[in-house]
Amino acid sequence: MTIEKQFLLEGLRLGESWRLFRIIGEFVDGVEALHDLGPAVTIFGSARIPATDPIYSKAEQIAELFAKNRFAVITGGGGGVMEAANKGAAKAGGQSVGLNIVLPMEQKPNTYSNLKLEFKYFFVRKVMLVKYASAYIIMPGGLGTLDELFEAATLVQTHRIKPFPIILVGSDYWKGLKNWIQSRLLKNKMLSKEDMEILQIMDDPEEIVHTVKKIVIF
């Protein structure tokens, strides 16, 4: 694959409007596959976490607990935390959804999702990850995880989607970020005190599931 062909958005030149049909097709495939999914949580986290890492085990445990409480589990379909979450949901006999993205490196679909979809465009996949979620569960991760975290927080803040829990799992990992938001953004009046309530930091899997169950009607 040439470098030019990897940059999909830059490839939308005059005369290439046919690509819009591919984009529409991805939206159609996603909606048709997920419209009757029922209550679900989307779990994010690093694709680079090995199976021996405690974060992997915790993601698996959280997903298994959600599945036992009749929630579908949605992930980005790749390795690391995504694999762990799909594995936990499948182990509990739940709906384990993997929304994989086609990337030139790193992302490969895991074997634990029992409902798989593949996307070429990040923004279509993002819509599916948020549209069918009753909550976002954010495990430790890198740029992709932060991207999903702040986009969801912005959508809630601006009332583009209904408010739902955005739970950061792992106080040791996330407390520095929340402290920075408070000391920089809040202190400089770049957001409100109410905005600070959008993000919750938790460690206990039972508490996480209980928090989400309180706002979901089956």
| In a domain? residue 61 | yes
CA dist 57 and 55 (Å) reads 5
Dist. CA 32–CA 126, nearest whole Å: 16
Asked if residue 173 belongs to a domain, the reply is yes
Asked whether the beta carbons of 177 and 210 are under 8 A apart, the reply is: no
The sheet carrying 115-119 orders its strands as 115-119, 96-101, 72-75, 40-44, 135-138, 166-169, 199-202
How much of the chain exceeds pLDDT 90, in percent? 85
Stretch 58-79: mean pLDDT: 97
Average the pLDDT over 185-208 and give the result: 97
pLDDT at 3 (0 to 100): 42
| Residue 72's pLDDT band (cuts 50, 70, 90) | very high
Percentage of residues in the chain with pLDDT exceeding 70?
91
What is the pLDDT averaged over residues 159-181? 97
Q: What is the pLDDT of residue 10?
A: 62
Residue 214 burial class via C-beta count within 10 angstroms: exposed 0-12, middle 13-18, buried 19 and up: exposed
**Nearest C-alpha neighbor of 149 from the set 164, 166, 163:** 166
Q: Is 115 contained in some domain?
A: yes
Q: What is the pLDDT of residue 158?
A: 96
In a domain, 168, yes or no: yes
* pLDDT tens sequence across 1-18: 444 455 655 656 665 678
Which pLDDT score, from 0 to 100, does residue 108 have? 81
CA–CA dist 202, 27 (Å, integer): 33
What does pTM read for this prediction?
0.91
36-46 tens-digit pLDDT: 999 999 999 99
Please report which helix (H) or strand (E) contains residue 168, including its range: strand 166-169
In the structure encoding, which two tokens stand for residue 168, read together?
Answer: 């950061």
CB atoms within 10 A of CB 101: 20
Per-residue pLDDT at 142 exceeds 70: yes
Is 97 part of any domain?
A: yes
Alpha helices by DSSP H, the chain: 3-6, 19-34, 54-68, 81-91, 122-131, 143-157, 171-180, 193-196, 205-213
Angle (CA) 31 79 72, round 5°: 40
Residue 218: the pLDDT is 75
Residue 107 has pLDDT above 70, yes or no: no
Which range marks the domain in which residue 131 is found?
A: 39-213
Helix (H, G, I), strand (E, B) or coil at 107: coil
Please state the domain count of the chain: 1
Q: Is residue 10 part of a domain?
A: no
φ/ψ region of 189 (left if φ > 0, alpha if ψ in -120 to 50, else beta) reads: left
Structural domain includes residue 175: yes
User: Greater confidence, 89 or 107?
Assistant: 89
Cβ atoms of residues 89 and 64 within 8 Å: yes
The CATH number that applies at residue 127 is 3.40.50.450
User: Residue 62: what pLDDT?
Assistant: 98
From the CB of residue 203, how many other CB atoms can be counted at a distance below 10 Å? 14
The mean pLDDT of the chain is 92
Q: State pLDDT tens for residues 132-141.
A: 999 999 999 9
Is residue 28 one of the residues assigned to a domain?
Answer: no
Residue 19 has a pLDDT of 82
